[in-house]
Structure formats: structure tokens, C-alpha cells
Chains A and B, each alone.
Chain A
Amino acid sequence: MATRRSGPRFGHRIKIGLGAAIVLGAVLMAILAPLLAPHDPYRQDLLARLQPPVWAEQGAWKHPLGTDNYGRDLLSRLIYGSRLSIMVGVSAALLSAVLGSVLGMLAGYKGGWLQQVIMRFADAHLAFPEILLAILIVAAVGGSALNLILVLGVSGWMVYARVMYNLTRAVRERPFIEAAVSHGASDAYILARHVFPQLVPVLTVVCTLQVAQMILQETALSFLGLGLPPPTATWGNMLAEGRDRLWVAPWIANFAGLAIILVVWGINMLGNGLREHLDPKAKERR
């Protein structure tokens, strides 16, 4: 019994630990990029083009992960690329968290026509392919970090709105909300002080998982040439640049792809671990 339970019981802790380690590593890498990167990520060296990583036959320690088509150091670009990918991913996830939470809480608390308008709009938006909308907007306004954050942030609101809407409806029925009204609290006060704190745990989980989604979307847009314009180092751009040389220099795309997979996997693991940790029903099952 004890051994049977010990596995899944600690599952969420391993997930949180490993996920947090990966995320922390990525964030540190982004913050300390100038210290960690061996070269300037934008310095071209046409004599050292398409060098393979150090473990390949012609590899050298000067460029541990090799160089790209312009002779730029891949390791440095990968490290600097994490900055934009993570910054855009986190900012976009936070922006949509704010938008979606406010709208979802309003819809759930006020009900009536406001709920109808907000939630039907969210349904319609959910049915619309997000990436297509993002492509449309970025193609129209052009790619910059700010534009990407705005586009991704605005296009991700309904995930939060739906979750917050349902939770708010449940919290609204609890007697302490009625008690707060009877003490003279206004709707805005009740939402901020009595409803929102109950939603924070779930919001944290959704937000974490959404960061991974946002990083993937940013990458996808960059890959399609709609992200930050070259030569900016982002993982999506590196993936796109590597695509043309996939047969001659597979490492260019490979390392960027690996970095994306690793970070998204880490974030998802952290998010799922947190979800299991905070979900009382999951605890009963353990």
C-alpha cells in the first residue's frame, strides 16, 4: 500500500521541482545572457560559416554549438534568443490574464446581458483559429516585440475568461459574498477583495500553462517570418533560418527546436504539477 501510493503521491512534487528547475534555468539564461554568451550574437564571421558543433568532426570549442549561415555563434544566439522568447511569452500571458480575468469575473459576477455579450464573444473567438488572427494582425501592423505581445496577449484572453467566469459563478454563491454586500461593499470591491483571492491558485496554473502556449505561438509566428524581423535572435527566427540549411547544417534548426521543446515541456510540467498540487480532488485520488 505504502509503496503503491508513494509513486503518484510524489509525482506532482517531481513535476514541480523539475519544471521549476528548467524554467528557472531558462529565466537565468535570459537575464544573464551578456555574461553567459561567448560571442556577440550578431557578429558575422563569413570565414567561419556553417561550422558544426564541437562534437562533430570539424567542430571547434570556439563555437560549441557551431555557427549559422553568416558565421554567427549559435550558442550565443540561442542564449540571447531566450530573452525575447521568454519576455514575449510571459508578457503576452500576463496581458491576456489581466484582460481575460477582468472580463471573465465581470461576466460571472454580473450575469445578465453583460455575461451574454462577453461569453458569446469568447466562444466566437475560441472558434476562430488564433494563429490566423495573429498572422493577419502582425502582417498588417508589422512585427515588433510590443506588437507581438499585444497580438498574442489579446488573442489569448478567452481561455482565462472562461475559467474565471465559471469559478466566479461558483464563488458568487458563497455566503460571504452576500455578507460583504450587507456590510456595504460595492461590486468592484467585492470582485477585487472577495472574489479574486479565491481564484488566484487556478489563475496561477492557467497562466503558467499559457506562457508555454505563448512561447510556441511566438515561435510559430517567427518561423513564418511574421515575428521579430531578422537579424533579431529569437528561437523562432533561428528555426526559420535553419530550415533552408536543414540538409547541410541541421544543427542550426535542431538546437533552436530543442530549446523550445525543453522550455515548453518544463513550463507545462510545472503548470501540471501546480494544478495537481492545488486540486483537492486530485489529492483525494492520490
Chain B
Amino acid sequence: MALLEVEGLRTVFPSQEGEVSAVEGASFSLSEGEVLGLVGESGSGKSVTAFSLMRLVQAPGRIAAGSVRFEGRDLLSLDEREMRKLRGRRMSMIFQEPLSSLNPVWTVGQQVMEPMLLHGGVTRREARERALAMLARVGIADAARRFNDYPHQLSGGLRQRVMIALALVCEPKLLIADEPTSALDVTIQAQILELLRDLQRELGMAILMITHDLGVVAEIADRVNVMYAGRIVESAPVETLFRAPAHPYSAGLLQSVPDMGEERERLPTIRGIVPRPGEMPPGCAFAPRCPYADAACTVAPPPVHTLTDDHAAACVRPLGAHG
């Protein structure tokens, strides 16, 4: 049984033109211990998807439809108190900006102890010991001394390690990582990804890795979902996606990644811009930018084509199936 099963998730925000959906009918699942990448540009709805899973979407935004099953329970029907018991204990989240995600007035150690104290079952002393162990485990040398430091005294990489310790200290089954490396230097990025990968194996948890960076996906993910304009347009194992992308958007994304081996004058780009929410074309949202689009693409949202067992694309004419 899958650890997390999302069906037809639709999250909407009110606007002057009525409600617009930031996530439109997203469906995917995540097995225990699996790392799933969720890739897309800014505004593609990947972060809103993540926040929807934790039920952290702030009013006036709301989840309008769909179901989220986690460990067999429908999260969208839980009351807030039961949801709180899951957050930080069974499912956790790390954020893009570690400095602003840590409270400036408490020490690092106090904050790492927080989830354990919130969920109870431990004494302060045990919480302290486990927090120290966790700080050491995420690779903070001198954890005992860092324990009493304030977030502003740490470097960006250390802060992200603290965030990870904070999220994993209760050993959750699912970690949602929202662009965890985007604010870091490239060298630090690699270290953090490696750390996440190690911890994932050690703790046997699943990770939903949200990123705009295909390099991050290649590094860490087993499977990847590509999101465009609020919809998941392609889902495939990482190797398959990189070798044979089926959706023209995924193909475009891959082409615009610089390749060290090749010499090219200019990187190919995807022409045009993402349509604004509320101005979605009636058919495929990518059609106006798609080099292969024709009349069939502008009629209705494209159906999901299953290419193989684990590879699907929402396209009228997926690339692999051409001709």
C-alpha cells in the first residue's frame, strides 16, 4: 500500500475573476521509502501542492476537491487537532529559507526540541539528548556548543541542517522538502542533498522533493512528476524522464539544462510564458508554447496517456509515441 495517495487534488485561491486553481486535479502516490521529485517553474503549483498535503494552505486559499490519503487515513477529513498530531511527527516539512523559518529569539537547540515536546511522551531531558544526537546526525560538528547558538549565528548550510534536524527529530515517515537547497551555494547544495539521501535510507522515510532544479531531481529522486500550470503533466522514473521525456514541456525543460559535454552558442529555451491563473486556455495549458501543438490540443485538457507501467504523460500526442 502506498504511504501517500493524492487523488484529484484541487486547491483554489479567490481572485477578482473568481476562484482560480493553483493546483488542478493533481494525482500521484508515494511509496514508503521512495523519493519523488516534483518539478516545475515558479507558479506551477508545486509548493501549493506541498502545503495542501500538510493542510497548511492559508485562508483565503482552500482545498476545493480531491483526497489525500496518508498511512491509510484521509487527511482532508481529519479535524485540526488530529492533523496537528501528524504534523512534525508522521509528516514533516523543510523550507527554502532556513533563516526565516527559524525563530530568531530561541536557540537552535530549543527549536530542535520543540517537535518532541509538542508531541509529548518525552521528558525535557530526553528531548534534549535526542535533539543533540539529531544535530550531530545531520552533520553539525560540535553539536553541544551549537545547541545554544541562535539561528543568526550559523551559516546558511548549518541553518538548513538545523531545519532538517528539526523536521526529522521525530522520525517522520514522510518529509516534504520545499526547495531545500535553492537558497544555498552549489557546494553546500550537494552536501545537503547527500545528507538528505543518507537520512532517507537510514530512517526509511519517503521524501517529496519540490524543486525547479532538474539537477536536484537527478541527484536524489527515484521518480519525478513534472508540473505545469497547476497540473501534473508527466510522471516517470528519473532515468526514463531524462532519457525519453514524453511531454513536450518536460523535453523543453531538459533541453534548457546546460550540458558540459556539448558546445552550443545558446541554450534552447521554451518560448512564451506560463499562462496566468485565470487565463488558462481551454485545452492543454502548454499548447500556446508547444512546438507540436495543433487544433486537437486547444479543445479540451489532454487525457493522461499511460506509456508504460510507470510512465504517463498528459498530452494528446506524447513524444515517445510519435508516428
Tell me the A residues contacting B by CB distance below 8 Å.
Answer: 111-112, 174-176, 178-186, 189, 193-194, 197-198
Contacts and interface: CB of A to CB of B under 8 A. Distances in A.
Contacts of A185: 84, 88, 114, 118
Contact of A176 (B84, B89, B100): B100
B115 A183 contact: yes
Contact of A175 (B59, B101, B114): B101
A184 B118 contact: yes
Given A182-B54, A182-B56, A183-B166, A175 B97 contact: yes
Nearest to B118: A184
B73 interface: no
Nearest to A182: B93
Contacts of A178: 56, 58, 95, 101
A153 B59 CA distance: 34
Nearest to A172: B58
A175 B95 contact: yes
Nearest to A197: B105
A176 B101 contact: yes
Given A175-B95, A178-B56, A183 B103 contact: no
A197 B146 CA distance: 22
A184 B100 contact: no
B119 interface: yes
Given A175-B97, A178-B56, A189-B118, A183 B92 contact: yes
Given A175-B95, A178-B56, A179-B95, A184 B102 contact: no
Contact of B84 (A111, A186, A197, A198): A186
Contacts of B85: 184
A179 B102 contact: yes
A134 B143 CA distance: 57
Interface residues of B, number: 28
A182 B55 CA distance: 9
B88 A183 contact: yes
- In the A-B complex, the 9 residue pairs with the closest CB atoms: A184-B88, A183-B88, A184-B87, A182-B93, A179-B101, A175-B100, A183-B115, A176-B103, A197-B105
A198 B115 CA distance: 20
A197 B104 CA distance: 10
B92 A182 contact: yes
A70 to B, nearest CB: 55
B82 to A, nearest CB: 11
B86 interface: yes
Nearest to B163: A179
Contacts of A194: 103
Contacts of A197: 103, 105-106
Nearest to A176: B103
Given A175-B95, A175-B100, A176-B100, A181 B105 contact: no
A171 to B, nearest CB: 10
A198 B85 CA distance: 26
A184 B97 contact: no
Given A112-B59, A175-B95, A185-B84, 10 more contacts: A176-B100, A178-B56, A178-B101, A179-B166, A182-B92, A183-B88, A183-B115, A184-B85, A184-B86, A198-B105
A182 B170 CA distance: 13
Interface string B88-132: 110011010100111111100000001100110000000000000
Contacts of A193: 106
Contacts of B114: 180, 183, 185
Contacts of B101: 175-176, 178-179
Contacts of A174: 100
B93 to A, nearest CB: 4
Contact of A184 (B106, B115, B163): B115
A198 B106 CA distance: 11
A184 B119 contact: yes
Nearest to B97: A175
Interface in B138-197: 163, 166-167
Contacts of B167: 182-183
5 contacts: A175-B100, A178-B95, A180-B103, A181-B56, A197-B106
Given A175-B95, A189-B118, A182 B87 contact: yes
Contacts of A111: 59
Nearest to A184: B88
B87 A181 contact: yes
A186 B105 CA distance: 19
Counting chain A CB atoms within 10 Å of each CB, the highest count among B86, B101, B115 belongs to B101
A57 to B, nearest CB: 62
B118 A183 contact: yes
Nearest to A198: B105
Given A174-B100, A176-B103, A198-B105, A184 B89 contact: yes
A175 B159 CA distance: 14
